[in-house]
Structure 1
Amino acid sequence: MTTHSGEAHGEKTSARLNSLRAGVLGANDGIISVASLVVGVAGATTNSAALLTAGIAGLVGGAISMALGEYVSVSSQRDSERALIAKEKHELATMPEEELQELAELYEQRGLSPETARTVATELTAHDALAAHLEVELHIDQHDLVNPWHAALSSALAFTVGAILPLLAILLPPPELRVPVTFITVIAALALTGWISARIGNSPAGKAVMRLVVGGLLALGATWLIGTLLGTAGVV
């Protein structure tokens, strides 16, 4: 039973790390998306009102898009979990012996002897058969299903936090320093989020940082160039 508790704790820790990683990636999306947008506009004009409008529009639109995407995805996951719970309830009600044997076999696969596995399965079934099957067979906690609203709000918040940084970087400095300051600020922020992501995933930090920094530079450079060309041509 100690092993069983350890596995449950490990799954919860993994879920928390995945949530943290998702938050970092959401912030990273906010940084790159809004930075690319405002740098592109800054390449065409130095008008602060235009930069503010573009930045706010990108922030609000991006946050809503992220929230909606996360809500739809997590809602589908929760619907699937509820369907699996209903299916397991039906099977426990209609074929209890088969389900007991299945649970015992699952514990055998985890390394218990047939006798011990049968004893554990019997005791857990007597205590809470549904919870035992959901946890061991499906890795689901019926009292802790994913919440689409929580996921949507978290995603929108992470994006917003990331987006505020380039928005401030493009608006606060003098016009002649806006683009360089934004480039430096964004690259530093991307390096930090890359390092944090690597630490969370126990992967090499150098590669993660390099990927984000290079990708960010390409995005900023491309949008700034497009904005500059359009501004020079008198399109904006």
Structure 2
Amino acid sequence: MGNTKNYDNDLKSKLSHLRLHPAYLPHIGLSYNEARAKVLIIAESHYLPKRHNNKFLVIDWYKNPKSFYESIGNDKGWFNTREVVKTYQNSKTLDKGHGIFRNLEIAYQEIYPEIKLFDECVYLNYFQRPSEVEGETINIHTIDSKVALENLMVINEVLKPNKIIFVSSKAYDNFISNVSKELKDQLPYVGSVPHPSASSWWNRKSKKYGLKGEAVTGKQKFQRIMMPKIEI
């Protein structure tokens, strides 16, 4: 996967969190370095199967990972970002949780039919721990916001994207609430679109997604951002 090993070494050297939880290393597309739009796509959070609902402590995840991993047994694949994307890429059927990947990929192929998005992009979840309940949104703690922002800043430093797109309003709102002007100035363009599979606004028009008063869908806004060298 190109320079993934070098990227991984840099990321883990700068972030103790990723040394403790290497499953949270971002997916890096095979062709990321040559991509037309070197983009970071940021979703919300992973989750664990129902049998673990509300059975782990947030503090254990961040401060006592050994206890956490002992409690979940063999289920750590549920929050391995690269394995989740790989499973989607290799699956012949679409699992419920993979709709986000499929809808993003369809939108990108309408612009560039010859390219698969996840061969070119970097993908991660903003919040750096699983949510408490399978398939549900995460309950945000102060430490979640802190670690998420630290992680994003280091990923930006190491991978040097030219665009960052949030595909989760909850993650984007948390980012905006916590990032300082000094840190935001270190980032490239940062935008957001509605969730590609969980929000009806992905396929519904709104003036807030368009330019100069035009109403477009969340999907069309995503496509506009992905196009190089145009007004975004």
TM-score (norm 2): 0.27
Relative to total residues, which structure has the larger strand share, 1 or 2?
2
Which gives a bigger RCO, structure 1 or 2 (Cα 8 Å, sep 6+)? 1
TM-score, normalization: structure 1? 0.27
Q: Which is higher, the Rg of structure 1 or of structure 2? A: 1
